[in-house]
Amino acid sequence: MTNPSSATPAPPTGTRGGCPMGAGAGAVPLSGPGFHSEPRAFYRTLRREHGPVVPVELPGGFPAWLVIGYRELHQVTTDAELFPRDVSLWNQWEHIPEDWPLRPMVGSPAPSIYFTAGAEHRRHVDMVVPALEGADPFEIRQHCEQLADRLIDAVCSRGTADLVSEYAEPLPLLVLARLIGFPDHDGADIARVLKDLADGGPGAQEANLRFGEHMRRLVAAKRAEPGDDLTSRMLAHPEPFTDEEYVLDLMAVTAAGHLTTAAWISNSTQLMLTEDQFADSLSGGRHSVAEAMNEVLWEDAPTQILAGRWAARDARLGGQDIARGDLLLLGLGPANADPHIRQQVSPAVVRSGQGGNNAHLAFSHGEYRCPFPAQEIAEIIARTGIEVLLDRLPDLELAVPAAELVRRPSAFLRGMTALPVRFTPVRSTGDAL
Ligand code: HEM
């Protein structure tokens, strides 16, 4: 893979940046079914009409750039000095209402790994990433097998289930809760809290407060009595952090890993249940599980669009004039489908996980990418979760025609709203959750 050169500086424009009048003529509204029902065709059209950097309009009329070119996305994520993940740079803040629906996702400056930049971000990375690295892969797998069995026990005698709400969503959260150091009963409540948060309804604010309280109690408990868990390893880091920083970092790790890993499980399972080439996975072909998971990272990446990066100064990118403080949304999903890179990566390579496969951008790239040990944790949870499911319910099949499956109505996270399945009822192996 070539390493693209840095973006070239441009004369100050000020045309879009800070414009209170909205995103300007020709900007594409960042909503609507195109983004989630037929994304491939939709992004092909955007690429043809706008090139690799698309002017878009966020809800409320706020302007942003959506980077869909692989080369340009690589350039933006590599050059963390020109394009830091520094939300405080945004030239729209003075126009953004308190109750703007995308506020929680775009974020606001806070002392956590996710909402700091530069040296302050690296300080958090140096504390959080080694703590993630300390999780033993063998133990993660054991936790995952046990929790997956319990979730399946809750539905197995029924013969039907919704794999999204009853399996793919709770499983990563319950495993992460254990790794972080929570007892299982707290894990179940955190799953409920995060569901309220994700639904974004009137309960979201209160859910966020409860989420923080769980973390605050945990930090106090682990300070008093450390264990073999992520929180205790973070607290043992030699450089001091405030309790608020530990709490926000734990919330960031949980929020970053939960629905993304859930979507990796459900998108891969859906692929195996709908595509003939994966039929042998239903009779125990482990190889196919890995292939489906690899294919999903290229074709159906959980994080399709991510907010984002902010320009530290005026620049030119993909033929567009980017003003200082402009928001760049990372089109990780569309960049993976960019014909420039796909000409170099054959379908066989996409599936095998060999060669150029790790060139996909599903986990982003550069200084702020998903940390490598977090990627490994996600991989263990997703693979173990799918393997246990297929072992326990070997004749699993979709309960509705594939054409009736509904995608989340989101341009940002690619997953299913539900995955109704049926199977021959089997006996429970132990305690259901
Ligand atoms: C399929 C599963 C996952 C996907 C697709 C995913 C994807 C991502 C992406 C796209 C980012 C943002 C990178 C950027 O701004 O450039 C990110 C950041 C992050 N992810 Fe993941 N992630 C996954 C699972 C996890 C898990 C399981 C954990 C925790 C155990 C985790 C922890 C984090 C953290 C802490 C960050 C912030 C890193 C930083 O700011 O330096 N992720 N992830």
Measured distance CA(31)–CA(51) in Å, rounded: 19
Alpha-carbon distance values, 368 to 104, 129, 214, 333, 371 (Å): 18, 12, 26, 17, 8
Q: What is the mean pLDDT of the chain?
A: 88
**CB contact at 8 A, 20 and 328:** no
Q: What is the atom index within ligand 1 of the atom nearest the CA of 179?
A: 30
State pLDDT tens for residues 80-126.
Answer: 999 999 999 999 999 999 888 888 788 888 899 999 999 999 999 99
Reported confidence tier of residue 132, pLDDT bands at 50, 70, 90: very high
Q: What are phi and psi of 328, to 5 degrees?
A: -110, 120
Give the list of residues 6+ apart from residue 130 with CB closer than 8 angstroms, or none.
Answer: 233, 237
Instruction: State the pLDDT at residue 261.
Output: 97
Q: Phi-psi bin for 255: left (phi > 0), alpha (psi -120 to 50), beta?
A: alpha
Measured distance CA(422)–CA(401) in Å, rounded: 12
Counting residues of the chain whose pLDDT is more than 90, the rounded percentage is 69
268 lines ligand 1 (CB under 6 A): no
Measured distance CA(307)–CA(134) in Å, rounded: 29
CA of 399 to the centre of ligand 1 (A): 32
Reported confidence tier of residue 284, pLDDT bands at 50, 70, 90: low
Measured distance CA(265)–CA(380) in Å, rounded: 11
Residues facing residue 160 across a β-bridge: 422
CA of 175 to the centre of ligand 1 (A): 16
Reported confidence tier of residue 7, pLDDT bands at 50, 70, 90: very low
Reported confidence tier of residue 6, pLDDT bands at 50, 70, 90: very low
CA of 362 to the centre of ligand 1 (A): 9
Q: What are phi and psi of 155, to 5 degrees?
A: -125, -10
113 lines ligand 1 (CB under 6 A): yes
Instruction: State the pLDDT at residue 355.
Output: 52
**CB contact at 8 A, 306 and 364:** yes
Q: Find the mean pLDDT for residues 240-248.
A: 96
State pLDDT tens for residues 365-407.
Answer: 999 999 999 999 999 999 999 999 999 999 999 999 999 999 8
Measured distance CA(329)–CA(280) in Å, rounded: 38
Q: Which of 267, 293, 370, 377 to mutate to test the pocket of ligand 1 (most atoms within 8 A of CB)?
A: 370
**CB contact at 8 A, 315 and 259:** no
Nearest to 229 by CA among 132, 141, 114, 123: 132
Q: Find the mean pLDDT for residues 8-14.
A: 33
CA of 370 to the centre of ligand 1 (A): 4
Residue nearest (by alpha carbon) to ligand 1 atom 7: 363
Residue nearest (by alpha carbon) to ligand 1 atom 21: 370
Measured distance CA(133)–CA(86) in Å, rounded: 25
398 lines ligand 1 (CB under 6 A): no
Measured distance CA(24)–CA(290) in Å, rounded: 44
> Is 80 exceeded by the pLDDT of residue 266?
yes
Q: What 8-state DSSP symbol labels residue 359?
A: G
State pLDDT tens for residues 180-221.
Answer: 999 888 888 888 888 777 766 667 778 888 899 999 999 999
> Which of 239-248, 275-284, 353-362 comes out lowest in average pLDDT?
275-284
Nearest to 27 by CA among 60, 72, 5, 76: 60
Residue nearest (by alpha carbon) to ligand 1 atom 31: 257
**CB contact at 8 A, 285 and 391:** no
